[in-house]
């Protein structure tokens, strides 16, 4: 069964009936490719919407000269769903930057010299080299100690992607690594990446050994154990910032064909030789260290991590703004609920 002939000119130019047939044949023995095949043929309404967005990305890549032989081969002859998703994310992130932040994007087409990223953001303050990484995801065989239960793989999944990206980028440039976590089922937001790069919070309290109970208040203390701060001398100084990027599927039903919400957070590197100004992504959630302080608890959080990635749409700007507002209110309410629960846990610990 081949893709229905919707008005998807770029999609049908790349994914011909022959390509779809070959991917369908490979999908028989591969569950990941089976998911891909179902999307490519538009097996249901939501998968047809995903295919519609794919057509936009392909047209964007064609218009910017970025659909070279390498990307074309990786899209049409995927070795696995992960390898397909990796090249898809290269196009998705570039399209997101162009649409959301109105940045000029230069897709790199089979560069002669390695180390200059997958694409460049052409900013007045200087070009930014962007390397997009897609972690493979959780153990496909779910062979953890609890027979599939999550046991803290978050940082392990992200660390390999971060180290790989850091080793590929050249010194002397503004370098941004974007880590796309769509395949990591247990990574819900930027926090695992924050722990990997910066460190983590620990709860401290005085313990009365004789009474066997906690005395005094329970306090939170930041431990700078992350990859960007635990090394002496500092490592990864060539990396200006690292961003967490994940497509958000909550609330997509109503306007899914016109609006794609994504979680996007930028974590800046205090030790970067060539830092990126936080004004480049001014509307996004960012963690920006203050250089006059050495401790990393002075990182501040701005804006929401949800960004709306808008394509050509028939909705008015007013309707889009209302949907944007309601969607962010829902997420803030959910965060507030979980913060209240954590506060209640701390209060109970203080009483014990």
Q: Do 43 and 20 meet the contact criterion of CB atoms below 8 Å apart?
A: no
pLDDT at 121 over 90: yes
pLDDT tens across 61-110, in order? Answer: 999 989 999 999 999 999 999 999 999 999 999 999 998 888 999 998 76
Between β-strands 200-208 and 259-268, what pairing exists: parallel, antiparallel or unpaired?
unpaired
- CA of residue 242 relative to chain centroid, distance: 10
DSSP for 28-82, please give it. TT-HHHHHHHHHHHT-SHHHHHHHHHHHHHHHHHHHTT---HHHHHHHHS-SSHH
What is the 3-state secondary structure of 284-308?
CEEEECCCCCCCHHHCEECCCCEEE
| pTM for this predicted structure | 0.82
CB count in 10 Å sphere of residue 326 = 10
Q: Do 80 and 32 meet the contact criterion of CB atoms below 8 Å apart?
A: yes
Closest CA relative to residue 182, chosen from 293, 92, 301, 283: 92
Query: Which residues is 263 bridged to in the sheet?
Result: 246, 306
Sign of the CA dihedral with 43 first, then 49, 54, and 59 last = positive
Taking residues 263-288, report their average pLDDT. 89
147 — alpha (psi -120 to 50), left (phi > 0) or beta? left
Percentage, residues of the chain above pLDDT 90? 40
Taking residues 18-26, report their average pLDDT. 95
54 — alpha (psi -120 to 50), left (phi > 0) or beta? alpha
How far is residue 244's CA from residue 255's CA, in Å, rounded to a whole number? 24
pLDDT tens across 130-154, in order? Answer: 999 999 876 544 444 444 444 455 6
Structural domain spans, the chain = 1-81, 111-351
* Torsion angles phi and psi, residue 222, rounded to 5: -85, 130
Contacts of 91 (CB under 8 A, 6+ apart): 57, 58, 60, 61, 66, 71
Confidence of residue 174 (pLDDT cuts 50, 70, 90): very high
pLDDT tens across 198-248, in order? Answer: 888 887 777 777 766 777 777 777 788 889 887 777 789 999 999 999 987
Taking residues 149-174, report their average pLDDT. 81
């Amino acid at each position: 069964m081949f893709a229905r002939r919707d008005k998807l000119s770029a999609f049908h130019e790349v994914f011909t009936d022959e390509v779809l047939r070959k991917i369908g044949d490979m999908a028989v023995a591969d569950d990941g490719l089976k998911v891909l095949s179902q999307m490519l043929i538009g097996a249901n309404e939501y998968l047809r919407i995903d295919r519609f967005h794919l057509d936009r990305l392909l047209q964007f890549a064609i218009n910017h000269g970025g659909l070279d032989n390498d990307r074309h081969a990786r899209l049409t002859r995927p070795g696995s769903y992960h390898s397909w998703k990796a090249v898809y994310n290269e196009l998705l992130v570039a399209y997101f930057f162009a649409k959301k932040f109105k940045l000029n994007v230069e897709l790199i087409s089979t560069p002669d010299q390695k180390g200059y990223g997958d694409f460049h953001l052409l900013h007045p303050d200087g070009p930014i080299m962007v390397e997009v990484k897609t972690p493979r995801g959780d153990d496909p065989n779910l062979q953890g100690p609890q027979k599939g239960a999550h046991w803290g793989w978050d940082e392990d999944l992200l660390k390999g992607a971060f180290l790989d990206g850091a080793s590929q980028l050249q010194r002397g440039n503004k370098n941004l690594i974007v880590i796309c976590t769509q395949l990591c089922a247990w990574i819900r937001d930027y926090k695992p990446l924050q722990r990997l790069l910066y460190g983590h919070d620990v709860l401290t309290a005085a313990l009365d050994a004789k009474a066997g109970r906690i005395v005094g208040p329970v306090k939170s203390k930041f431990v700078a154990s992350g990859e960007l701060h635990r090394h002496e001398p500092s490592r990864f100084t060539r990396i200006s910032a690292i961003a967490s990027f994940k497509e958000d599927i909550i609330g997509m039903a109503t306007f899914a064909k016109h609006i794609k919400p994504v979680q996007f957070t930028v974590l800046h590197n205090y030790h970067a030789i060539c830092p990126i100004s936080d004004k480049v992504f001014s509307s996004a959630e960012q963690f920006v260290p203050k250089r006059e302080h050495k401790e990393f608890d002075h990182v501040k959080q701005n804006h929401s991590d949800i960004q709306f990635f808008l394509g050509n749409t028939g909705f008015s700007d007013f309707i889009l703004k209302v949907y944007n507002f309601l969607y962010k209110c829902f997420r803030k309410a959910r965060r507030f609920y979980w913060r209240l629960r954590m506060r209640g846990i701390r209060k109970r610990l203080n009483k014990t």
